[in-house]
Structure 1
Amino acid sequence: MDSEPTSLYDLRQTTFKDREELRNIDYDIVLSQGYVTVIKKSKKDRYIIIGCDRGGSYRGNVSVESQKRNAATRLINCPF
């Protein structure tokens, strides 16, 4: 890697030597902006899709009528 990326957009155009290097730089960038990212999907040595930890919506496997309590979730359908 020639120069260290300073924004999430810069991460898209950068090649890293390993997953750990990407996660360390990603962590520094997003933490300074006040949120957290997680690996949403990946293939070893091919690609990593990083997303907001609040991205998506709750997908329960029990019907609403048969739930015994309200399930809490941190997912707020964040588009990132």
Structure 2
Amino acid sequence: MVCDICGQSGAHVRRVSRSYGRGASLFVIENIPIVSCPNCGESYLTAETLHEIERIKLHRRAWAQERPVAVAAFA
């Protein structure tokens, strides 16, 4: 895969989880594809991924599953 930032080959897709909102409105999306380049060190989301994230956030009440999650604070 060619990196959109530096133009060199070797970029790869990795999957991450991201949280959006705070407190009672906290929402987590899992398995988001992020393009990561070992040459320039940049990681970025494609336009298609950003559109899908916005679509998921818009319909989160219908699609999300509630799960208990442990939270720790960095001291």
TM over 0.5: no
TM-score by length of 2: 0.23
Greater strand content: 2
Q: Is the radius of gyration larger for structure 1 or structure 2?
A: 1
